[in-house]
Amino acid sequence: MAEITASLVKELRERTGAGMMECKKALTENNGDIDASAEWLRKSGLAKADKKASRVAAEGRIVAAQADGRAVLVEINSETDFVAKDTNFLSFTDTVGQAALGAADVDALKATQLANGQTVEEARAELIAKVGENVQVRRIARIDSANTLSAYVHGGRIGVLVEVKGGDAELARGLAMHIAAMNPPHIKASDVPAEFVEKEKEIELAKMTDKDKAKPADILEKIIGGKIAKIVNEVTLYGQPYVLDTNLTVEAVLKAAGAEVVTFTRLAVGEGIEKVVEDYAAEVMKQAGLA
């Protein structure tokens, strides 16, 4: 039997939203397997959804630029939020954002020459010397298209690119704002993997009472089908209520405009990077020989 540690219980709680005792029981029942435990909780009706997500840890900024049928996002990281708000860092990121319009990937961006004659990589090294922290140009996303584009950044921490066939710049920006807020994994129902749908059916069936399961097959199928349709709407852009008018779905807004979403990209600062949490008070005491 695997050891059920407090940190494992905490991780499962954060992932599922279930209570501490339920999480401990789930881990015990599943020999410490966190994926199996999360599914066990959902089948038991003790977790609304698997909230597993990449741990957002690194600081920094997302910048956007758009011109002549091109739209880009660049994530640039710093070690602390303090440096992320520094004027030198902000100036550097703005410059890099504009330079990214002509770069195909991060390596090409780093080699891009700026107006002052430096490359982006040289300017980054100079910035590190100024702010005293590691700074990284982490990733770039871009769309090149004759369709309507929007590059939107919310609070410097979430960036969205969206390409819309039909419609106008206002619609594209509204959609980008929606994607920033709601983070849909897919565009439409046909994009949702069949494995996901089958797994959700399995989970919904496991959560039903024996009385419900005893209903005729066609009735049971309709009940399950309704639940799955709701879940699919929640994970698709087209199925979600539009943030600028929640009386309408995104699909209805697009239909009224005679438009469709071709593609989108959403970046959030630090997603997928695990940050080391420093105890600065303990570190100072340690260095002073008091701990």
The CATH number for 120's domain is 3.30.479.20
Residue 284 belongs to some domain of the structure: no
When mean pLDDT is compared across 34-48, 64-78, 184-198, the lowest value belongs to 34-48
Residue 92 belongs to some domain of the structure: yes
Q: Are residues 98 and 156 in the same domain?
A: yes
Decide if 201 contacts 208 (C-beta within 8 A).
Answer: no
State mean pLDDT over 221-249. 92
**pLDDT score for 272:** 77
**pLDDT score for 58:** 72
Residue 122 belongs to some domain of the structure: yes
Residue 265 belongs to some domain of the structure: no
Residues of the domain holding 164 = 59-185
Q: What would the pLDDT profile of 90-139 be if each residue is shown by its tens digit?
A: 999 999 999 999 999 999 999 999 999 999 999 998 998 888 888 899 99
**pLDDT score for 281:** 58
Q: Are residues 135 and 173 in the same domain?
A: yes
Q: Are residues 120 and 68 in the same domain?
A: yes
Q: Are residues 120 and 175 in the same domain?
A: yes
Side chain identity at 228, as an amino acid letter?
Answer: I
Q: Are residues 96 and 123 in the same domain?
A: yes
CA atoms within 13 A on the CB side of 165: 4
